[in-house]
Amino acid sequence: MNEIKYAPVIIPTLCRHEHFKRGIESLKKNSWAKYTDVYIALDYPAKDEHWEGYKKICEYLDDGDFSVFKSFNITRRKKNYGVGLNGRELSKSLMDRYDRSIYAEDDIEFSPNFLEYMDKCLAKYEDNDDIIAITGYSYPLNYEHDEGANIIFQSSVFPSWGVGYWQRKYGGYRDEILSGYLPKNFDKACKTGVLKKLIDRRRSDYIVQSLGGGDNTFITSTTDVSFGIYMTLKNKYVVSPTLSKTRNCGMDGSGVNFPKVRARNGKHYLSYDYNNQPIDMSTGFEPCPDSVIRRDENNRVIDDFLRVPLKHKILEKTAFTAYRILGLKRYKALAKKISDLAGRKNASFKYLEEYKG
């Protein structure tokens, strides 16, 4: 293992004071907090409903005791940056000071060994170019792995609910995704059989976003969706714990991307109560990786949990069948005409906007 370097933690926030406080207080319980610089980007309210929560976060930051951390740094925006820009600008400002970082949204609750897990795995896999990141989150599933293994390697899911990056690696795959690598290589992925290696959820995302004839936001920007597809196409992996080190408390309707969790029939992922997901409560961590990569076995486990709703299976099947008949160029021309004539938001984007995961 390389020498341990302590990655800074970056958390953007605005007005979700209960989530934010819960997350920071859980991070304070980490024994490696004393080695860790924490950076908070507090955005400025854009709506009247933001102000109450924003003021409570200000009070918490002004009155709270954060001396447990090596340093605790706050950037207060003087105008509204928005969810994405607020975090990106803070990350960019730290690139000259750190060669790695840990990024988490303000709705994440952390295990007591989260920081130790992150720093040790970032050191262990720094020189392995097949590993693009370390994620602290793991779906609540019985993955296939060696007895005693506490980390596995995933290639089709990239839950960014507490993620550790190396600057050297991140810049490369970020730029490749932003350049349109995924839609440009859709035809190749189909013809070479790589499409079949994706989990059902990501395969559906890739087909509908590539063949929608309009907006393909989720495969041309840095999202969970694009990372999951990208890793499979490039034969790359993310390190994931067998027992999650983070809990996502934002599926309660308080965030931008996810609707309020409702009980549903079957095993669709929104039916799971993420707010109460068990996480690792151990105080220490030593990496014990699985001895092999079990992509096919664990993809089947994930498929049983992240199921694709029937209406989206139909949309996927219809688009893919037409593509196979017409070819990519003719199909996309036809799809764009239909989308333009309909005068409405592209169906694939609407699908992902509702069910992103």
Write out pLDDT tens, residues 54-90: 999 999 999 999 999 999 999 999 999 998 899 999 9
Between CA 203 and CA 152 the distance in angstroms is: 21
- The count of structural domains within the chain is 2
Which of residues 77, 106, 135 is at a domain's end? 106
Considering the domain architecture, whether residues 54 and 177 belong to the same structural domain is answered as: no
The answer to the question of residue 174 being in a domain is yes
Between CA 12 and CA 115 the distance in angstroms is: 18
Distances (CA, A) of 322 to 151, 201, 205: 41, 20, 16
Between CA 134 and CA 121 the distance in angstroms is: 7
Which of residues 91, 106, 121 is at a domain's end? 106
Q: Give the range of the structural domain holding residue 162, as residue numbers without chain letter.
A: 107-355
**Torsion over CA of 274, 86, 33 and 276, rounded to 10 degrees?**
-10
Question: Residue 357 pLDDT more than 80?
Answer: no
For residues 256 and 99, the model is more confident at: 99
Q: Which pLDDT value is given to residue 270? A: 52
Considering the domain architecture, whether residues 125 and 201 belong to the same structural domain is answered as: yes
Considering the domain architecture, whether residues 124 and 86 belong to the same structural domain is answered as: no
Q: Which pLDDT value is given to residue 250? A: 76
Considering the domain architecture, whether residues 38 and 147 belong to the same structural domain is answered as: no
Considering the domain architecture, whether residues 149 and 279 belong to the same structural domain is answered as: yes
Considering the domain architecture, whether residues 121 and 92 belong to the same structural domain is answered as: no
Residue 2's pLDDT band (cuts 50, 70, 90) = confident
The answer to the question of residue 65 being in a domain is yes
Residue 342's pLDDT band (cuts 50, 70, 90) = low
DSSP-derived secondary structure letter, 43: P
Considering the domain architecture, whether residues 205 and 332 belong to the same structural domain is answered as: yes
Question: Residue 356 pLDDT more than 60?
Answer: no
Least confident of 28-37, 231-240, 327-336: 327-336
Question: Residue 14 pLDDT more than 90?
Answer: yes
Least confident of 58-67, 98-107, 126-135, 209-218: 209-218
Which of residues 53, 79, 106 is at a domain's end? 106
Residue 282 tokens read as 């151990």
Considering the domain architecture, whether residues 159 and 230 belong to the same structural domain is answered as: yes
Considering the domain architecture, whether residues 95 and 138 belong to the same structural domain is answered as: no
Go through 166-175 and write b for each residue having 16 or more CB atoms within 10 A of its CB, e for each that does not: beebbeebbe
Mean pLDDT value across residues 190-200: 94
Percentage of the residues of the chain whose pLDDT score is greater than 70: 88
Q: Which pLDDT value is given to residue 199? A: 95
Predicted structure pTM score: 0.88
Q: Which pLDDT value is given to residue 291? A: 96
Question: Residue 251 pLDDT more than 50?
Answer: yes
Q: Which pLDDT value is given to residue 341? A: 65
Q: Which pLDDT value is given to residue 338? A: 72
Q: Which pLDDT value is given to residue 271? A: 62
Q: Which pLDDT value is given to residue 332? A: 75
Q: What is the mean pLDDT of the chain?
A: 88
Go through 69-100 and write b for each residue having 16 or more CB atoms within 10 A of its CB, e for each that does not: beebeeeebeeebebeebbbebbeeeeeebeb
Q: Which pLDDT value is given to residue 214? A: 60
Percentage of the residues of the chain whose pLDDT score is greater than 90: 70
Q: Which pLDDT value is given to residue 242? A: 97
